[in-house]
Amino acid sequence: MYAQMVQSEASTDDPEKLAAFQARIDAGEKIEPKDWMPAGYRKTLIRQIGQHAHSEIVGQLPEGNWITRAPTLERKAILLAKVQDEAGHGLYLYCAAETLGVSRDELTEMLLDGRMKYSSIFNYPTLNWADMGAVGWLVDGAAIMNQVPLQRTSFGPYSRAMIRVCKEESFHARQGFDAIRKMATGTPAQKKMAQDAVNRLWFPALMMFGPSDADSVHSTQSMAWKIKMNTNDELRQKFVDQTVPQIEFLGLDLPDEGITWNEERGHYDYSDPDWSEFFDVIKGNGPCNTDRLAARNKAWKDGEWVRDGLLAHARKKAARKHAAE
């Protein structure tokens, strides 16, 4: 997902406080920033929300790659509005993380020097215009699977950010499907683009949910804290079940020969992604890791004089006002 393989911290706090805290969560109460919370809860959340925020910001790049080449004015406006929304979602999430006592600049530095990760999916390239449809439809579609339940997460600011994100996100998957549908029913060249996009992005989309975590200790703790709401496998299955009929509707070939309806389970069977590829991407060896981080570093470094300049002016203005009073 946008936050993959987040390690949760073991708790070393007072057992009585821990029990009271867990009772609040079990009762469905929201934890707010000034409430007492286990150090592990705080650390895990910073990691998870931070990674989620970074994914939104790095996620601007593969789609931003096509803004200047969008084929019509309307498609350009839709794509730009969508990528802009991602910047907004990153902003909301950074603000949620900031309530836990870490600043946005600190989080940014950790992204830029590689201490913090972002979702593996954004290390794949966008190579033809149909990718803009496929990213909206498959990647955002997969993200929504995770984000909808996270609206009920136990941490108040995270939950509120997710509510806002989900509200805005509802148009993303739809515009993606609309864009790829146009291609799938278009000229032979367009149909080829659509098929190419689905073939390339299918397994990376499945990887977004992360490796199977049914027996993971981290997962159990995070689920008890209600900062992870479902297992990776549950969400992945839901995604496959929802998406396969959509691919068929588009008249495209299924991107995996292993996809078959399993009557007994009432779900589609599908092939597992190549997890060695996933771990390579996580380690920094995906097709675009180096370029993505370089682009973020460049924007941050080139922007320093702007951030400093505007702050210096604000301080001067305040000083002048103060002197005049």
Partner 1 sequence: MAAPLTDNEALFQFLLRMGDNTLILGHRVSEWCGHSPVLEEDIALANTALDLIGQTQMWLGLAGEVQGEEKSADDLAFLRDVWDFRNVLLVEVPNEDFGRTLMRQFLFDAWHSIQLGHLMKSSDERVAAIAAKTSKEVAYHLERSADTVVGLGDGTEESHGYMQAALDYLWPYVGEMFVSDEVDAAMAKAGIAPDPASLRADYDALIGRVLAEATLNIPDSGFAHKGGRNGKMHTEHLGHLLTQMQWLQRAYPGASW
Partner 2 sequence: MKNEWPLWEIFIRGQHGMSHRHVGSLHAPDAEMAIKNARDVYTRRNEGVSIWVVEANNIAASSPSDKGPLYEPSESKVYRHPTFFDIPDEVGAM
Binding site for partner 1 (CB under 8 A): 57, 60-61, 64, 67-77, 80-81, 83-84, 87-88, 90-91, 94, 129, 179, 182-183, 186-187, 189-190, 295, 298-300, 302-314, 316
**How buried is 184 (Cβ within 10 angstroms: 0-12 exposed, 13-18 middle, 19+ buried)?**
buried
28 contacts 225 by C-beta, under 8 angstroms: no
Check residue 317 for interaction with partner 2 (CB under 8 A).
yes
154 contacts 226 by C-beta, under 8 angstroms: yes
What does the per-residue mask of binding to partner 2 show for 1-40, with x meaning CB under 8 A? Answer: -------------------------------x-xxx----
Interface with partner 2 (CB under 8 A), residue from 92, 129, 203, 209? 92
Report the nearest approach of partner 1 to the CB of residue 206 (Å): 25
Judged by beta carbon distances under 5 to 8 A according to partner kind, the member of partner 2, partner 1, none in contact with residue 64 is partner 1
What tokens appear for 302 in the block?
A: 């080139």
- Residues touching partner 2, count (CB under 8 A): 28
Check residue 249 for interaction with partner 2 (CB under 8 A).
no
Check residue 164 for interaction with partner 2 (CB under 8 A).
yes
Q: State which residue, 16 or 302, has the beta carbon closest to partner 1.
A: 302
- C-alpha closest to that of 288 among 210, 203, 204: 204
143 contacts 52 by C-beta, under 8 angstroms: no
Query: Using CA atoms, how far apart are residues 191 and 200, in angstroms rounded to an integer?
Result: 14
Write the CA distances from 27 to 23, 99, 170, 175, 284, integer angstroms.
6, 23, 29, 38, 41
Query: Using CA atoms, how far apart are residues 303 and 301, in angstroms rounded to an integer?
Result: 5
Judged by beta carbon distances under 5 to 8 A according to partner kind, the member of partner 2, partner 1, none in contact with residue 35 is partner 2
Q: State which residue, 164 or 182, has the beta carbon closest to partner 1.
A: 182
- Residue 47: count of CB within 10 angstroms of its CB: 20
Distant-in-sequence, close-in-space partners of 29: CB < 8 Å, separation ≥ 6: 154
Q: State which residue, 69 or 307, has the beta carbon closest to partner 2.
A: 307
Interface with partner 2 (CB under 8 A), residue from 9, 13, 106, 277? 106
Report the nearest approach of partner 2 to the CB of residue 198 (Å): 30
- Sole window of 61-69, 98-106, 210-218, 269-277 interacting with partner 2 (rule: CB under 8 A): 98-106
Query: Using CA atoms, how far apart are residues 213 and 192, in angstroms rounded to an integer?
Result: 36
Check residue 113 for interaction with partner 2 (CB under 8 A).
no
Report the nearest approach of partner 2 to the CB of residue 320 (Å): 12
Query: Using CA atoms, how far apart are residues 5 and 279, in angstroms rounded to an integer?
Result: 11
What tokens appear for 131 in the block?
A: 């990718």
Report the nearest approach of partner 2 to the CB of residue 174 (Å): 15
- C-alpha closest to that of 56 among 168, 131, 149: 168
Binding footprint of partner 2 on the chain (CB under 8 A): 32, 34-36, 81, 84-85, 88, 91-92, 95, 98, 103-106, 160-161, 164, 168, 307-308, 310-311, 313-314, 317-318
